Amino acid sequence: MPTPSMEDYIEQIYILIEDKGYARVSDIAENLQVHPSSVTKMVQKLDRDQYLNYEKYRGLILTPKGKKVGKRLVYRHELLEQFLEIIGVDHDNIYEDVEGIEHHMSWNSIDRIGDLVQYFDENPGRVDALREIQKKNEEQNEE
């Protein structure tokens, strides 16, 4: 299993390849706000662990293993954003909150959150009912 740091790199590489068709060290460094030398070291480690194939000056491509992990990591991130949005977390906090929790949850927890998101998606009235409860609780807290 990749470490949280490895996951961040795999996720970012996957996103770049999906969006642009390629991922360069400089793009990864910019998106993760790290030095290119740090990216090069991690890319070499990911190559050794068979998540990607890297050739100096030629670029990198994800292996089937890397693509599978990348796709799952993007799913996890997007699912947690959806979940936090549904439960009413302030939009300005969602990205940072997801970044803070995504590496600390089991895949079992992620799957159960997926079930809950599906539950709310299947009937938008459930979200309205949740908002009513939240409104009532906020009013009680103000008293």
**Topology match between the domains 4-68 and 74-142:** no
Please give the structure tokens belonging to residue 91: 């939009």
The reply to whether 102 sits in an annotated binding site is: yes
The reply to whether 11 sits in an annotated binding site is: yes
Tens of pLDDT, residue by residue over 66-77, are: 999 999 999 999
Residue 143: per-residue pLDDT: 75
Residue 142: per-residue pLDDT: 82
The reply to whether 91 sits in an annotated binding site is: no
Question: Is pLDDT above 90 for 1?
Answer: no
The reply to whether 35 sits in an annotated binding site is: no
CATH class of 4-68: mainly alpha
The reply to whether 103 sits in an annotated binding site is: yes
Q: Tell me what the mean pLDDT of segment 46-67 comes to.
A: 91
pTM of this structure: 0.87
Question: What does the domain layout of the chain look like in residue ranges?
Answer: 4-68, 74-142
Tens of pLDDT, residue by residue over 62-106, are: 999 999 999 999 999 999 999 999 999 999 999 999 999 999 999
Q: Where are the alpha helices (DSSP H) in the chain?
A: 4-20, 25-32, 36-48, 64-86, 91-101, 107-122, 124-142
Cβ contacts of residue 69 below 8 Å, gap of 6+?
2, 7, 10, 51
Distance (Å) of CA 25 to CA 22, 34, 118, 128, 130 = 10, 10, 37, 45, 44
Residue 59: per-residue pLDDT: 79
What's the CATH fold of domain 74-142? Diphtheria Toxin Repressor; domain 2 (1.10.60)
